[in-house]
Structure 1
Amino acid sequence: MRTVAGDITVREDDNGNNAVRLSASNTYGTLQAYLNGVIAVQLSADGSTNSFINAGNVGIGTTGPGKRLDVYDTSAAQLRVYGWDRVLGANTTGGQIQIGGHATDFAELYNTNGVFYITNTYNNAAGDIRFKTKTAGTAVDAVTIQASGNVGIGTTNPLQKLHVIGEARISGLASANYYVCVDANGDLFESATACAGSDIALKENIQPLASALLGVLDLSPVSFDWIDKQGRGSAREVGFIAQEMEKIFPQVVRTNPDGFKGIKYDVFSAVLTRAIQEQELKIEDLATQVENLTTLPDTPQNEPTSETAFLFTREMYQSTQDYLASLNLKLSDLETAKLAESSRIDLIQSDLDAVKAQLDKMGESTQSSESSASATPSSILIAIENIYNEFKSTLEALGIIKGEDGGLIMQNSLSVLGEATLIDLNITGKLTLGLLQIDGMQKIGESREASIGTVSGDLYIMPASSGLLRFMGDKIAMDTKGNLAMNEGIIMGNKSFRDAVKLTAGETTIEVAKEWESVPTSVAVTPSYNTKVWVEHVNATGFEIQVDSESDKEETLYWIAIW
């Protein structure tokens, strides 16, 4: 034992590593127990912050501790714990409090490096952390943090990183129509427009979106009910199946950490916009083709190739209609003239019948015993001679002579005022029927060609009410409504309005230079390989062709301009 002024120390040896010390002054009293030179137990009293032991309960700052440890102080902090090594009073950074005495089932409260931790995991054990509130005497789970990191508000089984049962509200926005967004740093901010970042300063490797129309046409919109009606509601919904969408547009589908798939509908709007643009181009192309169909004359510079297709314009249709109407009128005049000539031939036939009758009577008179004064041979011969002379005059007037084949050849003009039926009629030269003129020997250049035309005016060809006009061995046909069908043939034209260009492997853009007097309404392009193609910047100096996928070899693009 050692006594110093105000101190009494009971120690094991002179070093005082293991000792009990009792000290006092006019302001406080202290009882200390040392173990291996370190204070293991200390009880102090200064009149305000006192320590007491009462019936197994320890009170600090109170004379009536009601629990195993009861701490009371009028200052801001009533309990201070130091030391990561769980030694109270070690006076190091950190400290720890364990709740629960089981070796693997307890919670901890501790601080290290300025960070305060609450955990219920130790020795590989895991569990939830729940915050309860009490309403009307009943404790309710308000917030749950699962071992997976999912946080639930209003639910003890959160399915996502944040799962809220009930409504959420954010105050302080300038308007109810504003959006709450998350920026690139993870901070929340308000916006009067959508939240998706779209500034060009945020982007690189910008490319036009490839064709989307065919993909959109393959989609299957559905209606459905949610299985989790508590969390998602019981109303009937419409949308798409993410797995089906992923097969067509994988860039608009996301996969959550839990394995469930979702659709980024804000991204999908760009796909729909592209599909609408493609559909509009198709509609415009069809409208242009309907209004601007054209066919080209058969000239050397317009020789047909397999690279082009037939087009017919309204001008061709109208001109053909006018031509058919004119030809039909000429045919009508020809029919009238034919009837007139037929009447004259009938008169000649009648005269020939009269001659035959006279000859028959003459034969009968030679066999009869009676004779008539008017039926003498001389009178009959005179009658025959008169008929012959009249017939000869008619033939001479018509310019009819006997041909080498025994047929008749008419050298002069023939005017038929009545009906006439002509079989196997051969005409060398021109046949004029009113204003219609058919020339089988018209000189064109150095050769003779057949032609059908008019003396003046237009040529109209009018089919029957239900018939068709057929040309070139039924290769071309037109009905009474002006619909033109081409069963065979290809377009003919020069490079001013149609051509083919070569697309080098790896290219997606090619410029075509032209010198047009007027800008085409549109340019249609057909690629030689499976890709989507469109035309931009059409002007008097040419246009630009774009394809959405490059080829690994040289390909050909066939184009045709439409005015």
Structure 2
Amino acid sequence: MKTMKLSGYFKCLSVLLTIAIAFGVSNFATAQTTTQEGVSINFDQTAPHASAVLDVNCDGLTGTKKGVLLPRVTLAERDAMTTGAAEGLTVYVTDDGDDKGYWYHDGSAWKQLGQSIWKKNGNNAYYNTGKIGIGTDNPTYQLQMETSSVNGFHLESFAGELKFQMDGLVNGSNFCWLAHKAKPDGNGNSFTPTYVQYSQNNREGLLLQTYFNEDPVEPSHYCVINSGDGNMYFLRGGDHLALVYPGGSDNYIWRFYGEVQADGPYTQMSDSTLKKNIQPLTNAITNLKQIDGVSFNWKDPNKKTTLQFGVIAQNVEQVFPNLVSTVTTPGNEFENLPSETFKTVNYDGFIGVLIEAVKEQQTTIETQQTTIDTQQQQIQDLLQRVSALESQ
């Protein structure tokens, strides 16, 4: 191979290699090949690679391969080289700790090769000196992720313990849910997903859902708080418990299939400062006499099957229309509940009427008692006069 005239750099390197061989590194059949473009140090006399100014390889070496050692210095020794350090100067810092490893000078400061903001503690990595941004270079929060992708964020434990997902749906709405996947309890039952879900697509606004049975089609607990065109529900599978708010109206409905028990009183706001147009009730007894108390059974087999006492809404509406409301439940596709329209009675509204009816009745009783007492006295007087006449 034709040898070209070497630059000063290659001459220096050639001298160093010659000295090394002279000191007895004769057990390696080392070949130095130089060209105008570079130097090759190898064992098979191949030319240096066209892209390299220095090409070192172990091809042809028998036994254990060898590496290249760069200068090994302490951290203090590295810092002492800072002044006048050439761009690209590389050393290996031997001090134990985060600074240990290869460093290069970028012309203004030392940079660690493979440098990361993450610190190591054994097999663990940590970062506690700032905020982390994914998709943003200016995070406001400790962990902030931004993306225009439909699939935004997903975190899942493959053991089925935790699932957290946040998506931006195709139509631009937002979606966030937290789910606990199915897990047997060891007794033949299955806890099928528990959801904490938020979406904004004119459907669920907030969804809390838990299944506790073998059939996920029939959930045991269910809560939906809708926004937009939706409504608010609180439902329970089987014997349903429902809270329904027909949007835009003042009709709040609690639907219970079964009994309601509590160890405290049920109270309503009744402060005079909250009321206006206060008027006494009249003709309470006359009005109550037009209402029939009845016994009945519910048609719906899901409701209580025992004999019930109460009134009929249509009957009450003829006398006290303000105590009767007509409501419509919008139904729910998840619980297969159809829309229903029916009348309800404000039984508490009868309290005022019954109080006045008792007072009217008591007034009548007291008036009659006064009349009876007067008549009794008159009769007693007459008996005394008759007795006196008979004794003459």
State the TM-score, normalizing by the size of structure 2. 0.40
Normalised TM-score (structure 1): 0.29
Rg larger in 1 or in 2? 1
